[in-house]
Chain A
Amino acid sequence: MSPPVAPPGWSRWLVPPAALSVHLSIGQAYAWSVFKPSLESALDLSGTQSALPFQLGIVMLGLSAAFGGTLVERNGPRWAMTVALICFSSGFLLSALGAATEQYWLIVFGYGFVGGIGLGIGYISPVSTLIKWFPDRPGMATGIAIMGFGGGALIASPWSAQMLDSFGSDSSGIALAFLVHGLTYAVFMSLGVFLVRVPRPVKTAADGTPAPLEGVQVSANSAVRTPQFWLLWIVLCMNVTAGIGILEKAAPMITDFFADTSTPVSVSAAAGFVALLSAANMAGRIGWSSTSDLIGRKNIYRVYLGVGALMYALIAWVGDSSKPVFIIAALVILSFYGGGFATVPAYLKDLFGTYQVGAIHGRLLTAWSTAGVLGPLIVNWIADRQEEAGKSGASLYGLSLVIMIGLLAVGFVANELVRPVAARHHVTPQKEAADVPEPEQSA
């Protein structure tokens, strides 16, 4: 399948909504927890079992992004969005069948395995295309799309809950909800398939062949052999781990922190705090990523990692003496967490060029999978040990906060070590020309 080339007069402002239609859909993954209580009662599952479709989905996201990136580069964004649409929607339809027939394994296979492939391919599908359309503002462009992944859960969470209320929480109600999800997301994502276009290639005057891309260009296979790739891997992993550290335990954390004070936090106020963190996460994706276009990628990661560490230090230092300071510092950290996700494609583009940036981004997302395990593990394990040691309140989290500062310091140093990629890794113009697929003209 050839990439669809924009016809004359096509606007680049049609590409962000195409990307958003995919990211807002697949972002549903983070609202899976809405289905958990109903699944547990309808199919007699444990909490661990009901979480398995989501966990497998995230594993498949990482694997399909890492291994499918080269295919996405070769076949173009329309192919990738079509694959994402088919897999993500089929995942829901298979899960509907699984719920209707009370076959739990079919829900795991459908949502987790098949749907998870849709998550990974869908996540990286618009990245390279957006960077090519917005060479002047790559941070803003990818920030819009990746903000959509955060927004997807905001939409799906209340929507799915309302659907279960209407259809019922028994197996037939869950099946109907899955069916409606699958069909609705298929229609919604089709906008992306319909609208996405790659820019028209620049032709050389002499023979009409596409001109080589400007600047440094590195293939995905070469990129993983450079120190720059692994330094960025560490940067992303540390930044995400630090963010997840708060996100994972946000509600119990704020409750524990102020439990022994004169102004304890209620359950509903803690839920409000979690919602506010989601807003900061989303705002950081578009806000900080756009800022990186102005101040540079290395500088923005200095802010994420350096100021992030200071914010953790502030929480540790102020402790339970100031609720506003705790809330503001947590919001800043979560905005950096979102910003780190959204800015990394533009950082990759700066270092490795646009040649196979989508495939390189896919491989870098393994840092996310690692952080997804590491962050919650650190915070939960330490909080449990501190509780066993008889500690309570803010002191439950003191050691976790120190570890988060250390992780951010490691990320900060890794970012400082990033240098331009050595010339021996660059792709030659001949190789570039040989790899450019024949574009498909589309109206």
Chain B
Amino acid sequence: MIILSRRSLFGAAAATLLLAGSAGAQTTLLNVSYDPTRELYRDFNAAFAKHWEAEGKEAVSVRMSHGGSGAQARAVIDGLDADIVTLALEADINAIAEKTGKIPADWRGSLANNNCPYTSTIVFLVRKGNPKAIRDWGDLVKDDVAVITPNPKTSGGARWNFLAAWAWAERHFEGDEAKAQEFVGQVYRHVPVLDTGARGSTTTFVQRGIGDVLLAWENEAFLALEELGPDQFEIVVPSISIKAEPPVALVDENAEAKGTTEVAKAYLDYLYSKEGQTIAAKHYYRPFEPELADPSDMQRFPELELATIDDFGGWKKAQPRFFADGGVFDQIYKPGQ
């Protein structure tokens, strides 16, 4: 027994050391983000740390936490000590603001472009040569086409997919919402696997060889092409898509408690700087101010017409209408529909 209690004492001591080790002399920021931003922030954090020291300030290290956007928002609500949140959906940051008050209710607008230093859109990734001839949203419901997209209930990116399809349908059927819903329902009946996250869907499409078309973030499609095989896939740009706006925000109360407000604010501002915008474009995010980024990076982005979330009345309306319990998405799967 004595040996055991000594061992657990040792364990507790080691745990304390482990926690204390993270504090140390330098300032540490915690950026809680969603899945596809890993590569972007790895580069950006290094650039920011260099910039901050060059300004004559203290050494700063930025810790990252990645996961599904909704799950990350929940972790912050339940006490994860984030200084900064960089999530996939405005709705997720709204939830933090509403449930904890740690972010002011009017956070949207505290930074330029509705707090979106970069945007993205939804494109199609198809197999090389586009064997099923998929050119636009209407082709997704052809008989032999299988579509891969994650579950909008558990993935932020999937909600943008859903809204992009809806935007096309609403235009195609000239504003007939019943027909738009019917079309989007059709699309989801062509989905054989509904993964829980965007990266899960990419793996299903790329590694498992399931499906003919993957609905993906533009940045994810480019990354998949680069990392997993440019000779096996190609990107198809539909006639219309949606401007996906992943917002960033300061978690005021947490930063204040930790005394990191100044550096956290500088971190967010730096996302809008020339360097920040260049890094975003390099990682296939569309920068808010394209003229700041490298022109050769900018050439990679195709021109296409983009609907915005405001066409849906903003997230505060779109979220409950489409994705809440019993909303449009749930109705799609009701038997007999």
Q: Do A and B bind each other?
A: no
